[in-house]
Amino acid sequence: MIVKPELSFEPNDFEAERASNSYLMSVMALIVGLPLPIVNLVATLIFYLANRKSTYFVRWHCTQALLSQITVLFMNSAGMWWTLSILFDEMRISNTYIAYIITVLIFNLSEFILTVYTAIKVRQRIHVEWWFWGGLTNLFCKA
């Protein structure tokens, strides 16, 4: 799930703090923004835009945080609309719905733990690449 490749450079303390904050931003927004999934994406996007011209290390981690939020946004939005349809429309609670909500919770929880872990490691200047999102970030973010 996680790889920690060696970087050819040592990020300084300021970079580590900014990069770590990009993850903290999505964690904070997740807590504040529940149950509206768009809130954490917007928060992470603002942080990304503010730092897109920053150093490679900061940019890279802001991008990874943003891309992971976009993925979560899709699954959370579907869950939210499904729930609203049950509450305000004629849809009924079913096994498929409960299974979806549990699946989304598992993915969100995993993402949450991963985000907190990465925020701590990045603050310690350790570069953390997530499975899939790390590779995707490498495609977007060139040194």
Site for another protein in 65-94 (CB under 8 A): 75, 87-88, 90, 92-94
Q: How far is the CB of 12 from another protein (least distance, A)?
A: 29
SS3 125: coil
- Element holding 57 (H helix, E strand): helix 56-88
| Radius of gyration of the CA atoms of the chain, in A | 17
Query: Kindly report the CA angle at 48 between 45 and 50, in degrees rounded to 5?
Result: 110
**Is residue 1 at the binding interface for another protein, with CB under 8 A as the rule?**
no
Give 27's strand partners: none
Q: How far is the first Cα of the chain from the last one, in angstroms, to the nearest whole number?
A: 23
Q: Of 49 and 84, which CB lies nearer to another protein in the complex structure?
A: 84
Q: Which residue among 34, 49, 50, 102 contacts another protein (CB under 8 A)? A: 102
Q: Which listed range, 34-42, 47-55, 111-119, 133-141, lies at the site for another protein (CB under 8 A)? A: 133-141
- Look-up of token digits 């899939």: 132
Q: Of 12 and 103, which CB lies nearer to another protein in the complex structure?
A: 103
Q: 137-140: long-range contacts at Cβ-Cβ below 8 A with a sequence spacing of 24 or more? A: 137/60, 137/63, 137/64, 137/67, 140/63, 140/67
Q: How far is the CB of 87 from another protein (least distance, A)?
A: 6
**Is residue 135 at the binding interface for another protein, with CB under 8 A as the rule?**
yes
Q: How far is the CB of 98 from another protein (least distance, A)?
A: 4
Tell me, what amino acid is at 18?
A: R
Q: Which residue among 98, 109, 113, 116 contacts another protein (CB under 8 A)? A: 98
Binding site for another protein (CB under 8 A): 75, 87-88, 90, 92-96, 98-100, 102-103, 106-107, 131-132, 135-136, 139
